[in-house]
Amino acid sequence: MNWLKRYVSSVKHYLPNKLKNDVADELYSDLQDQCDDKSAELGRDLTDQEYHQILLNRGHPMSVAASYQPHSTLVSEELFPIYLQVLKWVIFTLLIVQIVTAITGLTYKTDPNYIRAAIQIISGTFNSGLMGFASVTLVFYLLGESINRKEILKNWHPKKLPTFTDSGEEISIFESSIELVFQLLFLGFINNIFALLDLKMGIVTFQASEQLHAMLPWINLALILGVIFSLYKILAPYWTKRLIVTNWLVYAVSYMVLVGLYQADPVIALEIINTEGIATMYDLPTHWWTNFLFVIGIVFAIDIGFYIRKYMRLN
Amino acid sequence: MPIEPERLAKLTMELRRGVLILAALSALQQEHYGYSLRKQLASFGLEIDEGTLYPLLRRLENQGLLTSNWREEEGRRRRFYQISEDGQEALAKMNCEWNNLNKAMSILKENTL
């Protein structure tokens, strides 16, 4: 019987506290009955090998314990195919970013170290990949939870289908996913940068103007709105007028943040203290800052032009 | 191409899985503990492995279709299960569905084989 007790204890180990004793008692009683029956059938006590065979037929204690628990997952079955697609693109994008960064770094060096660059690509992709994986999983977990709570899939009705005609345009899951990926990465990046501000990291200190600090919640708001809208677009099959108008509203918020940033003091500075303790300040030139924001503004404007065309087509 | 035994076993298992609830509820018109229920079902030709039966009994109990109580019998603590009132109602409806399925399958087979 020692084998049975050992087996039941092992199953118990993998069970949550509320199930432990109940399941273990029932399992032990069932195993005893089975062994008694087998013993009566053979007319003798069971050998160790026969006990082993009975336990082998039951399966690994972890599998037995798992069968008593609901198969809950972080990402719901319905969202899993899209989650997998987005995750692939996140990892792919991160790999590309790492490669481009490494190549750019190499071009500035007179004596480039290719092995070191390769190691940087691998370790950089691994580290940022872990962050990307965690962020995407968290976003899809929250999305799945809200879909379940609001019973969106259950309350679906054909009337909710978009009034799609031949002129209607499909929303590309690929484009929305790439948008989502960049917004997530930028969200992580910007908050990481701000978290490092004014912190002395060895000889280096990053600094930003107070105005830029004050803009952080608004930047986050614009990005979070963008993330939510991208997720919505991933789930929505076609462009509708309402969706285009919502898109403009999201853009409007981003524009307002951009205008705020444009007017803010562009002080992003890097202070480096050399071995003799002398600090040197490297300011980001104002024209770089304004040019950067101007280019983003132009990209936004071009994109809005495309959406106006889409809207006209739907008319 | 002949179907591999493993795949066939999976298909059969899927087919049987749906019937197990009906079988368990039917058999639990009489009180049973897990092992005795398994033996009774096996005697009717319906073999169920323990890994499927016990979690199923718990699920049905959580859904209010079964009731259970712990008792000592033959010097051994056992959990006895029996169908509840809700279970009886569900069983009646499932039996109707089962009969409809049987009829539909017979007609389908007659017309296709």
pLDDT tens by residue, A30-48:
999 999 999 998 999 899 9
Within an 8 Å CB–CB cutoff, is residue B73 touching chain A? no
CA distance A137 to chain B (A): 29
pLDDT value at position B98? 93
Contact A64 B51 (CB under 8 A): yes
Pick B5-112's CATH classification: 1.10.10.10, 1.10.150.120, 3.40.50.720, 3.40.50.300: 1.10.10.10
Q: Which of B50, B55, B78 sits opposite A58 (nearest CB)?
A: B50
Q: How far is A62 from chain B (nearest CA, A)?
A: 12
- A156 has pLDDT over 90: no
Q: Decide: A238 and A231 in contact? Cβ < 8 Å.
A: no
- Sign of the Cα torsion B6, B10, B16, B17 reads positive
Residues in chain A closer than 8 A to B76 (CB atoms): 29, 32-33
How confident is the model over A286-315, as pLDDT tens digits? 677 778 778 888 888 888 888 888 888 776
Residue B98 in contact with partner chain A when CB distance is under 8 A: no
pLDDT value for A214: 79
- What pLDDT shows up at residue A211? 74
Contact: A67, B51; criterion CB under 8 Å: yes
- pLDDT per position as a tens digit, A82-95: 889 888 888 888 88
From the CA of A12, how many Å to the nearest CA of chain B? 15
More confident residue, A179 or A264: A179
ipTM of the complex: 0.82
Residue B100 banded pLDDT, cuts 50, 70, 90: very high
- B76 and A29 in contact by Cβ < 8 A? yes
Alpha carbons B70 and A21: distance in angstroms, whole number: 12
